[in-house]
Every structure is written in C-alpha cells, then in structure tokens.
Amino acid sequence: MRCRQCLVRDHYRADTQSIGERLLHQTRVFLRTLLRVYNRNGRQTKSFHGNIVNKSNGRRLSINNQLIVDSKSRASIVGRLVSKWVSNSIAADIRRNATRQLLFKGPGLGLGLVGVCINNKGPSLLTEIDETEAKCQQIRSIFSTLFTNYQIKSEAAEPCLFDLNNLQFGNCIAKGCNAVVYDAKLKGNTNQFAVKMMFNYDAESNAAAIWKAMNKECITFNGNFSSNKELEIMLNTPNRQKLKPHPNIIEIKGVFADYVPSLPEAIELYPNALPLRLCDQGFGRNMTLFLVMKKYDMSLKTFLVERDLKTQTSLFLLSQLFEGISHLIKHKIVHRDIKTDNILLDLSSDPDFPWLVITDFGFCVNSLRIPLNSDEITRGGNRALMAPEIVCAEPGPFSYIDYSASDLWSCGTIAYEIFNAENPFYPNKSKKYLQNNNYKEEHLPIMPPSTPKPIAALIFDILKRNPSERPHPKVAASLCEMLLFFSRRNLMVFKTQIDRSEVYKSRKLLQWLRALATITLCQRNTMTGGRKLNAAEMKLRLMFLSEVKIEYLLPALSYISTEEKI
Ligand SMILES: Nc1ncnc2c1ncn2[C@@H]1O[C@H](COP(=O)(O)OP(=O)(O)OP(=O)(O)O)[C@@H](O)[C@H]1O
C-alpha cells in the first residue's frame, strides 16, 4: 500500500518498517502539510519550496518530492518545526522523545506515530501517548494556576520579622532530642505559631557559628530576612541551600538567633540544654537558633495512637507523604529521618482528611550520593527506619551511600502504621520484628485486610532491598491518588483488561482526568450537588491535577491491573 501523501511504500505496515523509515515518512508528511497549509493561508512559501537548511549542520533539505534528512538532524528539525504549531513545551517534549529515540533506540518519536491534529491546525508527529501527555499538560497548566490562587487565598499572611520581643510564648508542645517546641503568638495578634528552640551545646554564641552548626534546619526557610542582622548576612550568602516550597513540606516562616530565654517548664523538661545563667545543671550555650512555623495540631505519631484510621484517611495521608518525598527527590534533598514524630498534621478542615507536612530537616543532605570514607560519617537519624542499603553500606576509600530511594523505604515502613498495623521494623520486646540489615522480602508481614490490594503490592515493592527495584515516589503518590479520586467502577476496567495496550490505558486515563477536572471545577465553584469537598480534599485534588503526568499514572496503573481486589 502506498501513502498518498509521500508515496512511501508500505508505510501502514509499521511492524515491518524500520523506525528510521517511519520517521522519515512522517517528517515528509509533516513538511508537506505544513507547505499546504502555508499555501492555503496565502503566506510566504518560498522558504519551504526551495531550501530548508538545517542550521545545526548546514545541510540542505528539499521538500520537492524528495526530502533529504539524515537521522541526526531529524529530531531537531522536527522539534523546531512543530514548535510553530504547538506550544513550546509540547515541542520540547517531541524533541526530548526524538532525541531519546535517536540516542537510545528506545520508544520515542518513531514508535506508533499517528497523524493527529492539534488545534485543527496541522498534523503532528506525536505518538498517542505523547498526545495524551500533551493534553495532560493543558490540564496541568489550568490547575497549576488554580492551585496557586487557592494557596495564596488560604494561606496568605503578611510577612513579619520575628524576635523574642514580639513573640509571646505559651506552653511547651513537645521536646525532642535536639530541640523544644513551644506554641507562641505575635504580641497583639491571635495567630498561633510553633517556635522551635534548638538545643545548643557546642556552637559559640554568635550567629555565624550557630548558622554553621544548624543551617540544615533552615532549608525550608525561603526568606532572606531576619531580626538578627548577623544571621541575615548568613541567610544571604550565595548558594545558600533552600528547598522550593511544597504543600507537604513544613514552611519555616522566620528564623533568628538570640539568647536562650527562661521559658515555662524549662528546668523540668530540658535542664541540661539551658545555659548556666538559667540552670545550675546546664551545659547549654547562651545563644541559640529559633525557628518559627505554623502550629500544627499534632504529629502523625500521636494521631495514630489516638485513632484507627479509615481506608480513605490512610490513602489520603499516604498520598501526601509520597508527594512530599517526591518533591525532595526532585530537588535532590534527602531527609534521612522520616518517622511518625517528624510528620505533622493539620486537622482543621476535617479530622478524616488531615493535611500532612514533613518536618525536622536537621539530618537532611543535599545530595543523593555521599561518600562513605569512614564509619564516623552520620548516616541519618532513626537507625531502625534506615533503608537496608544505608545501614549495610561499608566504609572505604571509594565507598558511597546511595540515598536516592531511602526516604521512600522509610515511608514504606510507616505505611504499615498508617494502615493501623505495627511498623515491622520497630524493635518490639514481645514480638518478632524485622531488622533492616538482614530482613528477607518474603518475611515482610501481610498488610492489614483493610489495605487495598494495589497498595499492599506497592508497599511490598517499596520495601525491596534493592533500591533500583523500588518505584518512583511520584508513581506511589499517583496510585494512592487514583484510588482516592477515580471511581472504583472505572478502575475495575483494568482488572479485566490486563493485556490492554499502553495507548488504550493512556486514552482511558485521559478520559478520567478530564472527568475529574470538570467535576473538580464544578465542585470548586459549588455548581453541582454531590458530596462537598472539604478544604484539604480540594487542595490535594488541585495539587494532583496541577502536576498530573501520564508518565507516572501508567506505571501506577499496573498495580491495579495485576491485582484482583481493589
Ligand atoms: N510546627 C509544629 N507544630 C506543632 N507541633 C510541632 C511543630 N514542630 C514540631 N512539633 C512537635 O515537636 C516535636 C519535636 O519537634 P522536632 O522533631 O522538630 O524536634 P527534634 O528535637 O529535632 O526531634 P528529634 O527528637 O526527632 O531530633 C515533634 O515531634 C512534634 O510533635
């Protein structure tokens, strides 16, 4: 069979045709259509008739019947031309795909090409999956604006410089090993804050030394100002480590260094951390670092002690935990101390839908691999929840620790707690427990019966000993979110259609995403009946839609398609 447009033989027999041939064919069709549309619009056509020169290598391309394109130049030409018709980000996607295909011979531009119209303007060289991804991009762009506006509206607060004079301390919320947290108010203001006062035993009482010892705690402080001018200089040092804000990561609202004040219950709770001027048994220094944050209702640890969670609540929490971890990985930050005490909850919108943030970055590092030259190097916080590759790493001259999937592993252990079971890695006197250095995957306990089967399969994969066999945190988050947001009837499609192609699945996903986007917009504007979403649910939906990618949904879907019960 011949293609009517470019007279290439047998182009429909995609299976027998080489990728190169198909790519060349599609490029020809694309350029011809481009020419036709230009002609129709009465525009300048010369540049397409005679010579198109590939700027990167100076080669001349003619489209009068014969198009001469070598494989190296195809990707860039196609990308450039396509950018005339679609948004830059889609063109960039095409370029990326094409390059991937050219470099790695993997699935990319050349596979499953279809001539689909974008905005009815002309054909593109997108695969069906690329096409779906491009439509996802439209959903993302709409919802990222909505999500930003939503956050600005709900969390707007005037910037403020905090110090010991304008803060009024209340009760002690909790004491950790390295700090104590108090609730506090700005004088003359009802807004509640939590102020974390670090215990300083070593650093000299000046801002530079305090900053050097404790700056990791401030990684989620994005401001540049402090009431302490010396500290402000430190905050403004070039290349200061800062983590981009994320709704599931604690935001530090202010930092300052000052003299340790006399606060309620100080002598009973932390006498040794106080300076001599406040307590005879004190070993602490005179000055320390203070961090001001939003006050959360409780830690996940307390929440789990107080109640048995419904499956919806567990999924809601787990999605947010994975979202937070995925943000950290994206920015190459490793927390290294993920545990239920370091996860805080805001229960204000509905106790069944708590908003979650990861806190306490005191052990974080800004690299996914760190050299392990000696055993003196700190590997992280809580040893029981350290991933196996971290506890088992042997020090040596060329040794390093790979942290790329270690926070995710810790979350996998916490998932047991979130689904009302005991963490299998916590030392337990009465029961046998697993040890992170020598456990076998087949000994991992079965998740409680209320756990959706795909989640049980996901957690099993997250707790694989080999970090490269663990899924991406965004895939984990997407799975939880799909179970939360897509109807059970929809998801059951995949239970019975295991062998459906990726293209079929991506089309179905897009359908659901569009439906979800429409419903969310209606619910946001309270145009429909149905169940009203509380603020936290709405926030997670908007966040999901503002970042949704088929790239992550497809692998997440595989957990659903292979499992029997949802
Ligand atoms: N913003 C906050 N709102 C409410 N409670 C908080 C807040 N920040 C911390 N807390 C409480 O204070 C406790 C101790 O805080 P944090 O974990 O930051 O201290 P730490 O000394 O660094 O802890 P660790 O013992 O893990 O080293 C937390 O477990 C939590 O219960």
One CATH from 3.40.50.300, 3.40.630.30, 3.40.50.1370, 3.30.200.20 for 167-295? 3.30.200.20
pLDDT of residue 501: 78
At 520, the amino acid letter reads T
Pairwise CA distance, residues 11 & 446, whole Å = 51
Pairwise CA distance, residues 211 & 231, whole Å = 7
Cα-Cα-Cα-Cα dihedral sign, residues 325, 328, 333, 337: negative
Give Cα separations from 32 to 26, 29, 38, 52, 78 (angstroms): 10, 5, 10, 13, 13
Cα(451) to ligand 1 centroid in Å equals 29
197, 272, 299, 382, best to mutate for ligand 1 pocket (most atoms within 8 Å of CB): 299
Q: What is the DSSP letter of 531?
A: P
For ligand 1, atom 10, which residue shows the shortest CA distance? 181
pLDDT of residue 525: 64
- Ligand 1 site residues (CB inside 6 A) read 173-174, 176-179, 181, 194, 196, 293, 295-296, 299, 341-342, 344, 359-360, 362
The residue behind tokens 């048995």 is 308
Cα(99) to ligand 1 centroid in Å equals 47
Cα(326) to ligand 1 centroid in Å equals 22
- Among 146, 135, 131, residue whose Cα is nearest residue 520: 146
CA-derived radius of gyration, the chain: 28
- Among 174, 237, 179, residue whose Cα is nearest residue 208: 237
Pairwise CA distance, residues 394 & 372, whole Å = 8
- What's the N-to-C CA distance of the chain in angstroms? 46
341, 343, 346, 357, best to mutate for ligand 1 pocket (most atoms within 8 Å of CB): 341
Pairwise CA distance, residues 517 & 519, whole Å = 6
- Whether 255 contacts 221, CB under 8 Å: yes
Cα(345) to ligand 1 centroid in Å equals 12
For ligand 1, atom 20, which residue shows the shortest CA distance? 176
Q: Per-residue confidence of the chain (566 residues) as pLDDT tens digits? A: 444 443 333 333 444 445 555 555 655 665 555 555 444 444 433 333 334 444 445 554 444 333 333 444 444 444 444 444 444 555 555 555 555 544 444 333 332 222 333 333 444 455 677 778 878 888 898 898 888 888 776 665 666 889 999 999 999 999 999 999 999 999 888 888 999 999 999 999 999 999 999 999 999 999 889 989 999 999 999 889 999 999 999 999 999 999 999 999 999 999 999 999 999 999 999 999 999 999 999 999 999 999 999 999 999 999 999 999 999 999 999 999 999 999 999 999 899 999 999 999 999 999 999 999 988 889 999 999 999 999 999 999 999 999 999 999 999 999 999 999 999 999 887 778 899 999 999 999 999 999 999 999 999 999 999 999 999 999 999 999 999 998 877 777 766 655 567 788 888 888 889 888 888 887 776 544 456 788 899 999 999 999 999 989 989 988 986 555 44
Catalytic residue among 93, 130, 258, 337: 337
* All structural domains of the chain with their residue ranges: 4-85, 89-123, 124-156+486-566, 167-295, 298-473
Cα(184) to ligand 1 centroid in Å equals 14
Cα(357) to ligand 1 centroid in Å equals 12
Cα(234) to ligand 1 centroid in Å equals 24
Pairwise CA distance, residues 131 & 151, whole Å = 30
Return all residues near 273 (Cβ < 8 A) that are at least 6 apart. 180, 199, 200, 201, 282, 283, 284
- Whether 113 contacts 124, CB under 8 Å: no
- Please, is 244 exposed, middle or buried when counting C-beta atoms within 10 Å of its C-beta (0-12, 13-18, 19+)? exposed
Give the CATH superfamily of 298-473.
Answer: Transferase(Phosphotransferase) domain 1 (1.10.510.10)
Is 337 a residue of the active site?
yes
For ligand 1, atom 13, which residue shows the shortest CA distance? 174
DSSP run (H or E) holding 324: helix 311-330
Distance of CA 170 to the CA centre of its chain: 35
344, 346, 358, 385, best to mutate for ligand 1 pocket (most atoms within 8 Å of CB): 344
Long-range contacts of 123-128 (CB under 8 A, 24+ apart): 123/29, 123/30, 123/33, 124/30, 124/82, 124/85, 124/86, 124/94, 125/26, 125/27, 125/30, 125/78, 125/82, 125/94, 126/90, 126/94, 127/97, 128/503, 128/506, 128/507
Give Cα separations from 241 to 159, 260, 327, 358, 563 (angstroms): 21, 26, 15, 17, 42
171, 172, 173, 294, best to mutate for ligand 1 pocket (most atoms within 8 Å of CB): 173
At 308, the amino acid letter reads D
Ligand 1, residue 360: give the atom nearest the CA.
18
Distance of CA 425 to the CA centre of its chain: 25
Count of CB atoms situated within 10 Å of the CB of 10: 13
463 three-class SS: coil
Pairwise CA distance, residues 38 & 122, whole Å = 10
pLDDT of residue 313: 97
Q: What is the DSSP string of 465-506?
A: SSGGGSPPHHHHHHHHHHHHHS-HHHHHHHHH-TT--HHHHH
Rounded (10°) angle between helices 406-418 and 311-330: 170
Ligand 1, residue 297: give the atom nearest the CA.
4
- Please, is 55 exposed, middle or buried when counting C-beta atoms within 10 Å of its C-beta (0-12, 13-18, 19+)? exposed
Q: What is the DSSP letter of 386?
A: S
Which of left, alpha, beta for 42 (phi over 0: left; psi -120 to 50: alpha)?
left
Pairwise CA distance, residues 3 & 9, whole Å = 7
- Whether 492 contacts 566, CB under 8 Å: yes
Return all residues near 442 (Cβ < 8 A) that are at least 6 apart. none
Ligand 1, residue 302: give the atom nearest the CA.
31
Cα angle 191, 148, 491; round to 5: 110
Which of left, alpha, beta for 130 (phi over 0: left; psi -120 to 50: alpha)?
alpha
Rounded (10°) angle between helices 128-155 and 502-524: 30
Ligand 1, residue 181: give the atom nearest the CA.
12
Long-range contacts of 526-535 (CB under 8 A, 24+ apart): 534/349, 534/350, 534/353, 535/154, 535/348, 535/349
